[in-house]
Amino acid sequence: MDILHRVGIEAPVSKVYAALSTIEGIAGWWTKQTTGVSGPGGIVEVHFVSPSGERIGGMSMKVMALVRDSAVHWHVESGPEEWIGTDVMFELSEDGDYTIVRFAHKHWREAVEFFAHCSMKWATFMLSLKDFVETGRGKPSPADVKIDNWN
């Protein structure tokens, strides 16, 4: 089971790639609490805190591939049980005034309810990525869009 989303961003591919391939970029749309090293073989760590500052979760992802202006691939090493061993991938291409992002979160073992929750959350983060690149203002956690009672 894979989560697949497509989003189009009105910006040069190099700006979108920077938002996906650097710690500062990821912090602009996914979670402000992003640390680690975004280089081949490096580990990117994302942390999520509640509005009151309490830690509510996080993931560590190994950087499997960084292809300039084309692709980013992470392999999830730790985090929620359902995420471990899954792969998060972004493929970029240009189409007129748009950079097209083909997002995939692959290799889920089961289509559990948490899969459906994460599918919605990834969609909101893809809109956050679009806003961040187009306007400089994303909605990274803890300012992320809340979609249900799991957050």
Site of interaction with a copy of itself (CB under 8 A): 1-8, 95-98, 100, 102-104, 111, 113, 115-117, 119-120, 123-124, 126-127, 130, 145, 147-150
Closest contact distance (angstroms) between CB of 104 and a copy of itself is 8
Closest contact distance (angstroms) between CB of 100 and a copy of itself is 7
For residues 23 and 127, which CB has a smaller minimum distance to a copy of itself in the complex? 127
For residues 32 and 105, which CB has a smaller minimum distance to a copy of itself in the complex? 105
For residues 76 and 89, which CB has a smaller minimum distance to a copy of itself in the complex? 89
Q: What is the 3-state secondary structure (H, E, C) of the chain?
A: CCEEEEEEECCCHHHHHHHHHCHHHHHCCCECCEEECCCCCCEEEEEEECCCCCEEEEEEEEEEEEECCCEEEEEEEECCHHHCCCEEEEEEEEECCEEEEEEEEECCCCCCHHHHHHHHHHHHHHHHHHHHHHHCCCCCECCCCCCCCCC
Closest contact distance (angstroms) between CB of 6 and a copy of itself is 4
For residues 10 and 24, which CB has a smaller minimum distance to a copy of itself in the complex? 10
